[in-house]
Chains A and B, each alone.
Chain A
Amino acid sequence: MLRTKRVLGSVFVFVAFVAVWWVVPGLLDIPRFILPTPPELVEEFWLALRERNLLTHTWITFVEIVLGFFLGSLLGIVVGYSLSFSRTLEVVISPYVLALQISPKIAFAPLFILWFGFGIFPKVLTAILVVFFPIMINVLVSVRFVDYDLIQLMRSFKASRWQIFWTVEFPSSLPALFSGLRIGATLAVIGVVVGELVGANIGLGYLLVVGEGQALTGLVLVTIFMLTILGMFFYFAVVAVEKVVLRWHVPAQAEGAGVQVVAP
């Protein structure tokens, strides 16, 4: 009952938003090239499909995000867990990690374009860079937060370092890893788009540049819409995997026994 009410509420907000958008531009004499109304936008969408190869651009951007997200996550996971094994190594490289973490990663995009040209590689690289940090930090911190008594218990069973890692540290860190992946999924989209904005001849970021250059507001809005769809796809893909992998975690979280989670 409550659930139905909430769904209805959400639908109502959407309908109200579209209605205002539909009516207000006409009342205020806002022209189509500044803000198209909803029906005009649908037209723009079909136009982009037919004349702008919208799906091709979307596909290219999709592939770049997949590669950037996958490789960035992998790197974050490998480096995060590796550092968790050695406190010395962590201390030695932590100033550089901090510096890189503070630096705005998307500022590297022009550099990558300079180095690697207009292909998909610099976009993937930018995405890797932005995805890497939240995942690495979440993994590292969550391993550090594992209950020390649990480690001592494992040691009393004469567990090896690897047994402690696989039996306790790795599973304990999974909730934090997944929250890192969720953040990473949305950041991957940003990384790729910035890369494309800086220099590309294909992809949704390129369409944004075209739309801006030719004052095609409709095309820009349609592209933003597609990017949002892509972002949601990746986010909910991570959530779906998380639900399967972390079935045990929900009750634990309810008890307040969850793992410390760090936002980027």
Chain B
Amino acid sequence: MAGDMNSRRVRVNAESVGKTFYQRAGKGQTTEVSALKDVSFSVNEKEIVGLVGPSGCGKSTILGLAAGLIFPSKGRILIDGEKVIGPNEKIGFMLQKDLLLPWKTIIQNVELGQKIRGVPREIRREKALGLLKKYGLAEFCLKYPSQLSGGMRQRVSLARTLVIDPEILLLDEPFSALDYQTRLILQQDVYNILREQEKTVIFITHDIGEAITISDRVLVMSRRPGRIKMSIDIDMPHGLDLMKRRKSKEYGDYYQLIWDNLDIPLGS
């Protein structure tokens, strides 16, 4: 699968991106924190790219830059060849926290993005309902988020992201707040959806296994200041079943390769 990626259109392109944050250090002093340094990568159409790296290496910063929520200090980031200068309608953004509004019903939450973009009520309701039905959540559409389990809420959050038809999805640890079993189920569901809808995806994860099974390619980042240390094409001939992938021989090899490059100090 990874082989034909190169012939596809490039959708996201980071060119020598650097990001420096300024932190207040008392007495009017500020210190510079270099979060990213010389980060370059590209993501092709319909490609799923996993981003792994030690804590605090700037993974989320990369997503923030691609989403147009923050801006690079150096270099530039391009979506479909255009420099990112602000939030872009092609992009859907999803975080570890479901961020559902507790005072809105499930269907109202799913409609949020469309409502902000001025989609008329009937149209957005129909679309949201259609998606909730598809994900088996239709019966909950008039409930409030607090009445749903964590896994369901994250599904709703995904529906809210997908209902605005983003072509490029940026997922920041979308499964990490869930318990292990729920996580495995949701990973498979989300993976099927992403493949079926042929989305272009960058997703952050701490879970190496998740990165290997879901991604076409894994980018491994260094410690802060983060840079892309290595790009690993994942080639697994096991169809769409993540569980089969997990059990395969290649899985172990990829796992070892990524782990060895992660600079995670174990109790020394």
Q: Residues on A close to B: CB < 8 A?
A: 147, 149-150, 152-159, 163, 167-168, 171, 174, 248-249, 251-252, 254-255, 257
Contacts and interface: CB of A to CB of B under 8 A. Distances in A.
B99 A150 contact: yes
Task: Categorize the interface residue count of chain B.
Answer: 20 to 34
A147 B102 CA distance: 13
Interface of B: 64, 67-69, 86-87, 89, 91-93, 95, 97, 99, 101-103, 112-113, 115-117, 144, 146-147, 164
Contacts of B164: 157
Contacts of B113: 157
Question: Which of B64, B92, B116, B117 is most buried by chain A, counting CB atoms within 10 A of its CB?
Answer: B116
Contact of B116 (A147, A152, A159): A159
**Among all A-B residue pairs, the 9 with the closest Cβ atoms:** A251-B146, A156-B93, A248-B103, A252-B102, A157-B113, A157-B116, A159-B116, A158-B87, A171-B103
B101 A158 contact: no
A252 B89 contact: no
A255 B87 contact: no
A257 B100 CA distance: 12
Given A163-B116, A248-B102, A153 B147 contact: no
B103 A156 contact: no
A153 B116 CA distance: 11
7 contacts: A152-B69, A156-B91, A157-B87, A174-B103, A248-B103, A252-B146, A257-B102
A255 B91 contact: no
Given A150-B99, A152-B69, A157-B112, A251 B93 contact: no
B87 A155 contact: yes
A188 to B, nearest CB: 28
A157 B90 CA distance: 10
Counting chain B CB atoms within 10 Å of each CB, the highest count among A152, A153, A163, A255 belongs to: A153
Contacts of A157: 87, 112-113, 116-117, 164
A80 B68 CA distance: 30
Contacts of B91: 156
Contact of A153 (B99, B102, B115): B99
B87 A147 contact: no
Contact of B147 (A149, A154, A251): A251
Nearest to A163: B116
Given A158-B116, A159-B116, A152 B64 contact: yes
A147 B89 contact: no
Contacts of A149: 95, 97, 99
Contacts of B112: 157, 167
Nearest to B97: A149
Contacts of A171: 101, 103
Contact of B69 (A156, A163, A167, A174): A156
Contacts of A168: 101
A155 B64 CA distance: 11
Nearest to A251: B146
A171 B112 CA distance: 14
Contacts of A147: 97, 99
B99 A255 contact: no
A159 B86 CA distance: 11
A158 B88 CA distance: 7
Contacts of A174: 103
B101 A156 contact: no
B147 to A, nearest CB: 7
Contacts of B68: 156
A156 B87 contact: yes
B193 to A, nearest CB: 19
B172 to A, nearest CB: 9
A252 B104 CA distance: 12
Given A149-B99, A157-B164, A167 B116 contact: yes
Given A150-B101, A154-B116, A159-B116, 10 more contacts: A149-B95, A150-B99, A152-B64, A153-B93, A157-B164, A158-B87, A158-B117, A171-B103, A248-B144, A251-B102
